[in-house]
A = this chain, B = another copy of it.
Amino acid sequence: MISIAIYGYGNLGKGVESAILQNEDMSLFGVFTRRAPEEVKTLTNAPVYNIKDIVNYKDKIDVLVLCGGSATDLPIQTPEMAKYFNVIDSFDTHAKIPEHFDNVNKVALENKKTALISAGWDPGMFSLNRLYASSILADSNTYTFWGKGVSQGHSDAIRRIDGVLDAKQYTIPIEDALKRVRSGENPILTTKEKHLRECFVVVKDGADKEKIEKEIVTMPNYFADYETIVHFIDKEEFIKNHSGIPHGGFVICSGKTGLNKENTHVIEYSLKLDSNPEFTASVIVAYARAVYKMNKEGDYGCKTVFDVAPKYLSKLSNEEIRKNLL
């Protein structure tokens, strides 16, 4: 049994808790929190500990899953915890990945721990598919489309507008752009040419909807450059139809082969996810298994999904995967 602990108990931590239940080679040691442990009630009644005491349990935890945010939590927590534990996080600030990698790598190597950063679906499974596709098709273009799915940042931006009670923003791939990419045409497309933004907004009684809509669609960085659709709905409809956190997207690579580039190939990977945090958690849990196995083999330091041979993700033996999945 691989003993997993969770640090940070938000949506992602809850997703990890429930994913562990689906994997019979794993058990949940418990949840660590900065809050008062008695105030945190877990979904499965897993024990809750104060993060201050975590080092006491260092021999009882095989892999620690860090479920904090990328902005301020993980840059501190992942390297700090890699002193004592094999760790995994879902750090997703793309521009800061090299720095985070180096920080974690140094500590993990010094302490003979194995760490994996940026697990999830983007970064994560989408990154893998970008790498595989572009390595196979040397003369190709790879496109990433996000959605249909909820953008937390854009939803928050709308919620900050005066008169708005609640809001959800869906990022949606533009069908015509998808079609052009799939045809092998290799168009040049910016992010805003690939996506539109659809917003569902609940406002206070008597609020000026026209003014709010204008404020949304002209908001710099978030909406001004995009095709943006705004719907005003009531609270009941919002709760009924917009309570989930779905997401997904597409990685599409189109390339040419043949002496005269006469043949076109299209590789497409897509995700359609009812729950973004639960799917991310499922990826993390599979990679936690890999971290555990790689540490047992003496493969220390910081890793990303690019460094992990696929066999390490499976609970099956190497013989079984060759026989059943190859």
By a CB distance below 8 angstroms, the chain B residues around A283 are 136
> Which residues of chain A from 273 to 326 have a CB within 8 Å of any chain B CB?
273-275, 278-279, 281-283, 286, 289, 304-311, 313-315, 318-319, 321-323, 325-326
Query: In the complex the two chains form, is A275's CB within 8 Å of B257's CB?
Result: yes
Query: In the complex the two chains form, is A138's CB within 8 Å of B257's CB?
Result: no
| A98 within 8 A of partner (CB) | yes
Query: In the complex the two chains form, is B19's CB within 8 Å of A257's CB?
Result: yes
By a CB distance below 8 angstroms, the chain B residues around A241 are none
Query: In the complex the two chains form, is A267's CB within 8 Å of B271's CB?
Result: yes
> Which residues of chain A from 25 to 81 have a CB within 8 Å of any chain B CB?
43-44
User: Knowing A18-B258, A313-B131 touch, does A282 contact B322 (C-beta < 8 A)?
Assistant: no
Q: CB < 8 Å: which of B139, B265, B310, B318 contacts A305? A: B310
Query: In the complex the two chains form, is B322's CB within 8 Å of A101's CB?
Result: yes
User: Knowing A306-B326, A323-B97 touch, does A314 contact B137 (C-beta < 8 A)?
Assistant: no
Query: In the complex the two chains form, is B135's CB within 8 Å of A259's CB?
Result: no
What copy number does this chain have within its complex?
2
Query: In the complex the two chains form, is A135's CB within 8 Å of B305's CB?
Result: no
What 3 A-B pairs are tightest by C-beta distance, nearest first? A263-B274, A135-B313, A22-B138
A-B contact pairs, 25 of them (CB 8 A): A22-B257, A97-B326, A128-B132, A131-B321, A131-B325, A135-B286, A135-B289, A136-B283, A137-B282, A182-B272, A257-B282, A263-B275, A265-B275, A265-B278, A265-B279, A266-B270, A266-B272, A267-B270, A267-B271, A268-B270, A268-B272, A305-B310, A305-B326, A306-B309, A308-B309
Q: Give 11 new A-B contacts, CB below 8 A, not counting A129-B269, A265-B272.
A: A127-B326, A128-B310, A131-B313, A132-B310, A136-B282, A138-B315, A262-B274, A266-B273, A306-B322, A306-B325, A307-B309
Which residues of A pack against B, CB within 8 Å?
15, 18-19, 21-23, 43-44, 94, 97-98, 101, 118, 123, 125, 127-132, 134-139, 182, 257-259, 262-275, 278-279, 281-283, 286, 289, 304-311, 313-315, 318-319, 321-323, 325-326
